[in-house]
């Protein structure tokens, strides 16, 4: 797994995102389309693709895609 | 000897709430946004004076009309709800009287939410197969709408109030498989009715705080959607595998997967994680909402109506949610 692969999966999964627009430093909370549903989409994606269980509490502490990647690596 | 589900009736509460109705209350969303977000077109709420046992009573009456099953042959009732009439006595006692059932029957409450159907079915199987009675009438009535804050979008858009009556009877061949149960009470705080019952009763301050919405005198359901979601996608696939193992079956042996209709995104995620083909998944959320303990009997009834369940089919059922509590089994048709 690398962070680019995670970004591609997120771009595929979240329909509001145009391909090639997310970067490791993208702050997911500052994006105008962000909603609570996207948190669920991310939890599901991480669980299914990486077999890592992220709790709601974990996700609340995450700001950027790099943070999400680091969390997945830590929990893998 | 074994037992089987003989008949299912269910009833949704009378007040239909469309996405247009919701969009009038939640101005930040259009009707289309709501459908896209929640995957529900309509949900059903009761009026303030109709509670869970009333919905169960209506469903039971419907059951007796449709089946012509003699009331005097009912030997046991289990009433499953999260909205009992009183702290005491058991609501099942009141239902025995309202339904004019015999006095020499068993009658128990089983307060259980989204795992209510599978929990109650497991108990009914135990009662019948141990020879304590030859049938059990399962009654369900849940009214999440009565404890949802009018401004709580997640609860208002997803949940419905509904009742059901399901007859379990002794049979020559066994049609209900081995059960798996699970519980994790550390998750109770993520989905609960605040200011309800003895531990945390309503007080003057609470009523004043909620004065603008009628005081919320029955308490208020509070849901941490993220935690409920991560619990569901973690535990339900494990539950499915345990049910298969306990019944010596493989994924491919199952003709239909009937999960509690928690929410579209939960069902989709479970489906994806377990790689279940769409034609083997029961989705009956769109026109009914999440009907708590009624969701699985509702799915079974609708799937049968649509001819999706044939003789010889194996149907996996799994309930999960508030508690956290989960259970499931295989139904052999």
Average pLDDT over residues B294-321: 98
Mean pLDDT of chain B: 97
Residues of A in contact with B154 (CB under 8 A): 36
Domain boundaries, chain A: 3-16+24-75
pLDDT score at B245 = 98
Q: What is the pLDDT of residues B217-273, one digit of tens each?
A: 999 999 999 999 999 999 999 999 999 999 999 999 999 999 999 999 999 999 999
The C-alpha atoms of residue B4 and residue B169 are separated, in whole angstroms, by 6
Beta-strand ranges (E) seen in chain A are none
The verdict on a CB contact (< 8 Å) between A39 and B226 is yes
- Partner residue facing B233 (CB), from A35, A39, A44: A44
pLDDT score at B193 = 97
The C-alpha atoms of residue B46 and residue B14 are separated, in whole angstroms, by 6
Q: Give the SS3 label for residue B248.
A: coil
pLDDT score at A56 = 81
User: What CATH number was assigned to the domain covering residues A3-16+24-75?
Assistant: 1.10.1200.10
pLDDT higher than 90, residue A38 = no
Comparing CA positions, the residue from B157, B135, B138, B149 lying closest to residue B72 is B135
- Say which residue the tokens 């399901």 belong to: B166
Task: For chain B, list the domains and their CATH numbers.
Answer: 2-171 (3.40.47.10), 180-332 (3.40.47.10)
Q: What is the pLDDT of residues B77-131, one digit of tens each?
A: 999 999 999 999 999 999 999 999 999 999 999 999 999 999 999 999 999 999 9
The C-alpha atoms of residue A40 and residue B226 are separated, in whole angstroms, by 6
- Partner residue facing A53 (CB), from B230, B269, B272: B230
Write the DSSP symbol of residue B322: T
Average pLDDT over residues B10-38: 96
The C-alpha atoms of residue B82 and residue B141 are separated, in whole angstroms, by 8
The C-alpha atoms of residue B104 and residue B98 are separated, in whole angstroms, by 15
Burial class of B31 by CB neighbour count within 10 A (0 to 12, 13 to 18, 19+): middle
Which of A38, A42, A44, A58 would you mutate first to test chain B, the one with the most B CBs within 10 A?
A44
pLDDT score at B315 = 98
The C-alpha atoms of residue B289 and residue B137 are separated, in whole angstroms, by 24
The verdict on a CB contact (< 8 Å) between A44 and B269 is yes
pLDDT score at B294 = 98
Please state, as a whole number, how many other Cβ atoms lie within 10 Å of the Cβ of residue A46: 24
Residues of B in contact with A39 (CB under 8 A): 226
Average pLDDT over residues B153-179: 97
Q: Tell me how far CA of residue A74 lies from CA of A58, A62, A66, A71, in angstroms.
A: 12, 13, 12, 5
Residues of B in contact with A56 (CB under 8 A): 224-227, 229-230
pLDDT score at A57 = 85
> Which chain A residue shows the shortest CA-CA distance from B224?
A56
pTM: 0.95
Residues of A in contact with B234 (CB under 8 A): 47, 53
pLDDT score at A37 = 82
pLDDT higher than 80, residue B140 = yes
Residues of B in contact with A47 (CB under 8 A): 230, 233-234, 269, 273
Please state, as a whole number, how many other Cβ atoms lie within 10 Å of the Cβ of residue B174: 14
pLDDT score at A19 = 87
Which of B226, B238, B265 would you mutate first to test chain A, the one with the most A CBs within 10 A?
B226
- B257's enclosing H/E stretch is strand B256-259
pLDDT higher than 90, residue B1 = no
Q: What is the pLDDT of residues B100-109, one digit of tens each?
A: 999 999 999 9
The C-alpha atoms of residue B143 and residue B163 are separated, in whole angstroms, by 9
Q: What is the pLDDT of residues B128-139, one digit of tens each?
A: 999 999 999 999
pLDDT higher than 80, residue B141 = yes
pLDDT score at B238 = 97
The verdict on a CB contact (< 8 Å) between A56 and B265 is no
Please state, as a whole number, how many other Cβ atoms lie within 10 Å of the Cβ of residue B89: 12
Q: What is the pLDDT of residues B274-302, one digit of tens each?
A: 999 999 999 999 999 999 999 999 999 99
Give strand pairing partners of B223: B191
The C-alpha atoms of residue B253 and residue B155 are separated, in whole angstroms, by 35
């Amino acid at each position: 797994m690398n962070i680019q692969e995670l970004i591609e999966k997120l771009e595929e999964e979240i329909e509001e995102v145009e391909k090639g627009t997310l970067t490791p430093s993208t702050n997911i909370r500052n994006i105008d389309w962000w909603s609570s549903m996207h948190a669920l989409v991310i939890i599901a994606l991480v669980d299914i693709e990486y077999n890592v269980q992220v709790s709601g509490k974990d996700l609340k502490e995450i700001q950027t895609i790099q943070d999400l990647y680091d969390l997945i690596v830590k929990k893998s | 000897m074994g037992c089987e589900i003989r008949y299912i009736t269910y009833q949704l509460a009378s007040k239909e709430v469309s996405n247009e109705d919701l969009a009038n209350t939640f101005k930040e969303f259009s009707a289309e946004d709501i459908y896209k977000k929640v995957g529900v077109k309509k949900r059903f709420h009761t009026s303030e004076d109709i509670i869970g046992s009333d919905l169960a009573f209506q469903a039971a009456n419907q059951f007796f009309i449709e089946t012509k099953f003699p009331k005097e042959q009912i030997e046991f009732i289990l009433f499953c709800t999260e909205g009992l009439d009183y702290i005491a006595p058991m609501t099942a006692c009141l239902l025995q009287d309202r339904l004019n059932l015999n006095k020499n029957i068993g009658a128990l409450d089983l307060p259980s939410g989204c795992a209510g159907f599978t929990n109650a079915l497991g108990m009914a199987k135990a009662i019948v197969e141990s020879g304590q009675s030859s049938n059990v009438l399962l009654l369900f009535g849940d009214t999440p709408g009565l404890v949802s804050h009018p401004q709580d979008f997640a609860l208002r858009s997803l949940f419905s109030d509904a009742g059901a009556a399901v007859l379990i009877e002794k049979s020559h061949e066994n049609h209900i498989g081995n059960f798996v149960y699970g519980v994790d009470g550390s998750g109770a705080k993520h989905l609960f009715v605040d200011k309800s019952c003895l531990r945390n009763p309503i007080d003057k301050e609470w009523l004043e705080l909620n004065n603008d919405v009628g005081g919320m005198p029955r308490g208020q359901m509070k849901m941490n959607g993220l935690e409920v979601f991560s619990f569901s996608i973690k535990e339900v696939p494990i539950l499915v595998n345990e049910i298969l193992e306990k019944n010596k079956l493989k994924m491919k042996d199952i003709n239909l997967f009937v999960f509690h209709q928690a929410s579209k995104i939960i069902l989709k995620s479970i489906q994806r994680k377990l790689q279940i083909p769409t034609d083997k998944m029961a989705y009956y959320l769109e026109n009914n909402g999440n009907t708590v303990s009624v969701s699985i009997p509702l799915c079974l009834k609708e799937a049968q109506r649509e001819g999706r369940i044939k003789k010889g089919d194996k149907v996996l059922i799994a309930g999960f949610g508030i508690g956290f509590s989960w259970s499931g089994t295989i139904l052999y048709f």
